[in-house]
Amino acid sequence: MTQPILYSLQHCPYAMRARMALLMAREVVLLRAIVTKDKPADMLAISPKGTVPILHLSDGTVIDESLDIMIWALNRNDPDDLLYSQRADRYLQMLNLINDCDHDFRTNLSAYKYNKRYHLDTEHKFRTQCEVFIQRLESLLEKQNYIMGDKLSLADLAILPFIRQFANVDKKWFRQSGYPRLSLWLAKQLESLLFLKSMQKYPLWLDTHEEVLFFWDRK
């Protein structure tokens, strides 16, 4: 094995953010596209919990948490300084914000999606709980173009897939919801070459067993 192997699911938000970080770090990996209902035995052998993304390094190390993959890649190469390397305080602020996204917000988002799908009476309750985090982001974006400042950061990449999910639960409501800065930020990220590259579709690895080089040559 030369390049690291990345097991990835196209529309998984955790896999999305890992792919974006790998692209920004200019890492070259062998991508193996999977589907949830048919997980490769090779993948389960190195990470029995069976969730993506999973990065299998050439030395045998397995990284199976998306944020860990992002930080690993950007610690190796961070040409755009997404980690705010000269600002330890900002880095800790990013990690705290991402932690809030990954726990309280994601839990409420899952409940909101479920309630919307099945037309349950508690839909509004869970959307309102999601809005605590949404309002926090809107306030940050009142002062700057990106979540942590005037340039892209780890936080933008880590949080983007979940804000995309939130907006998609009820698109009409989100358009009229009074979060103009967050809406603009979201549109800008979804139209970026980075996001479009990260969402490129590949044949399922179990169908072809062809190794796909995944990287972004930004010249």
Q: Give domain limits for the chain.
A: 5-81+196-214, 88-192
pLDDT at 87: 87
CATH topology of domain 88-192: Glutathione S-transferase Yfyf (Class Pi); Chain A, domain 2 (1.20.1050)
Chain mean pLDDT for the chain: 96
Which residue, among 189, 107, 180, 168, has the nearest Cα to 137 in the 3D structure?
Answer: 180
Query: CA 107, 109, 112, 118: dihedral to nearest 10 degrees?
Result: -90
The residue whose two tokens read 């409501």 is 173
The pLDDT of residue 201 is above 60: yes
CA distances 139 to 19, 47, 142, 177, 204, Å, are 28, 39, 5, 14, 41
Could you give the residue ranges of the DSSP H alpha helices within 85-153? 88-100, 106-117, 123-141
pLDDT in tens, 90-140: 999 999 999 999 999 999 999 999 999 999 999 999 999 999 999 999 999
CATH of 5-81+196-214, one of 3.90.470.20, 3.30.1330.10, 3.40.30.10, 3.30.930.10: 3.40.30.10
CB-neighbour burial class of residue 175 (10 A; exposed 0-12, middle 13-18, buried 19+):
exposed
pTM to 2 decimals?
A: 0.96
Mean pLDDT across the stretch 201-219?
A: 90
pLDDT of residue 211: 80
As a dihedral over the C-alpha atoms of residue 103, residue 106, residue 111, residue 115, rounded to 10 degrees, the angle is 170
Calculate helix-pair angle for 154-169, 180-190, nearest 10 degrees: 110
Which residues touch 152 (CB under 8 Å, ≥6 apart)? 80, 82, 146
Quote the distance between the C-alpha of residue 58 and its chain's center.
24
Residues in the chain, how many? 219
